[in-house]
Amino acid sequence: MEQSIMQKQFAEEGYVLIENVLDPETDLQPVIDDYSMLLDELAHRWYSEGKIPSTYADLPFNQRAGQIVSQLSDEEVYYLDISLPKAAIYTEETPVYTSEATFNLLTNPRLLDQVEKLIGPEILSNPIQHARIKPPEFMNVGAKPRNAYLAATPWHQDQGVITAEADNTDVLSVWIPITDATVENGCLAIIPGSHREGLAPHCFEIPERFRELNVTPMPMKAGSILMFHRLVKHCSLPNLSDDIRFSFDLRYSPIGQPTGRDEFPGFVARSRKNPESVLPDHRAWGKLWHEARAKLAARGEMPFGSRWNGVKQPDCA
């Protein structure tokens, strides 16, 4: 079968950027409205607990989100995420956010149409997924430990941060800006073609060794999607603007292949062969996560090891 232009670019460059896949009003605004309600609930709780100095209720969403998220610890940021954290110990209260608006984004038919062109029609929503509200870096003024959302994401390859049994899984990364992503506010940057170089040691104390001359920033309008190979080297730039950058980074993989995070639940998002296996709604999605959390909590300590622990290579010396 002859490759399409999209498939050829993906094979050669390791990524495809497609504009206007999602509608800002009908697909993205419900997510913003949903997170606005979540932030309001959390802000009032954290204010009553003395964790933040104000609820910032008089601010519009972007400014309010920036103010609140910039003052959170890593543990508090987990309340905004759509996956359980890679924690050492889980409890029944470990947060994971599974709303209808987010489920609708993950299963959006126009989004899945594009995913299908690269990995086929039997699509699993891979549980390695995150929502990220990235405040301006200058807002890191609180006394709490700096949370990861304030910093630029270091250079890495997605295959380098999943378990080795998924090395042959066709994990497709899909990055979705909910607000416009610019060079100034911390868009992604990739190294085109780097997926052909294989997996590099991931030693984050020396991330500059990932950098090459052809680093390419990927500014994107809200509604666009960036799909890239699991071996593409990429990072996010620092947010040097005065506004947030709100995005989702999602993963999809063919049904039946290891996900790279087996303790977490994936779900069937599309299946031409077995359409009745498709997960019906966000309530079923939430139940999967709650059941996984209960199992992890019952096991007690559950450290997620790194494939790079004890690696004997010059880059990791």
The pLDDT tens digits of the residues spanning 105-119 come to 999 999 999 999 999
| 122, two tokens | 């039997």
Q: Which tokens in the block code for residue 157?
A: 């390859």
Residue 205's pLDDT band, with cuts at 50, 70 and 90, is: low
Tell me: pLDDT of 317 over 60: no
CA distances 317 to 81, 204, 233, 250, Å, are 33, 12, 21, 32
Q: What is the rounded average pLDDT for all residues in the chain?
A: 90
Least confident range of 82-86, 169-173, 212-216, 217-221: 212-216
DSSP character at residue 222: B
Residue found under tokens 């709490």 = 144
Bridge-based pairing state of the strands 216-217 and 234-236? unpaired
Report pLDDT for 314.
Answer: 47
pLDDT range class, residue 208, cuts 50, 70, 90: low
- The predicted pLDDT at position 177 comes to 98
Q: Which helix (H) or strand (E) holds 283?
A: helix 282-299
Q: Which of 157-161, 230-234, 246-250 has the lowest mean pLDDT?
A: 157-161
Distance between CA atoms of residues 154 and 152, nearest Å: 6
Instruction: Give the CATH architecture of domain 5-304.
Output: Sandwich (2.60)
CB atoms closer than 10 angstroms to residue 88 = 10
Structural contact between residues 52 and 46, judged by C-beta atoms closer than 8 angstroms = yes
d(CA 217, CA 214): 10
Digit-coded pLDDT (tens) for 263-278: 999 999 999 999 999 9
Residues 6 or more apart whose Cβ sits within 8 Å of residue 201? 308, 311, 313, 315, 316
Residue with tokens 């959006």: 108
- Average pLDDT, integer, range 118-146: 85
How buried is residue 167: exposed, middle or buried, by Cβ count under 10 Å (0-12/13-18/19+)?
middle
Contacts of 289 (CB under 8 A, 6+ apart): 84, 96, 98, 264, 265
Domain extent listing, the chain? 5-304
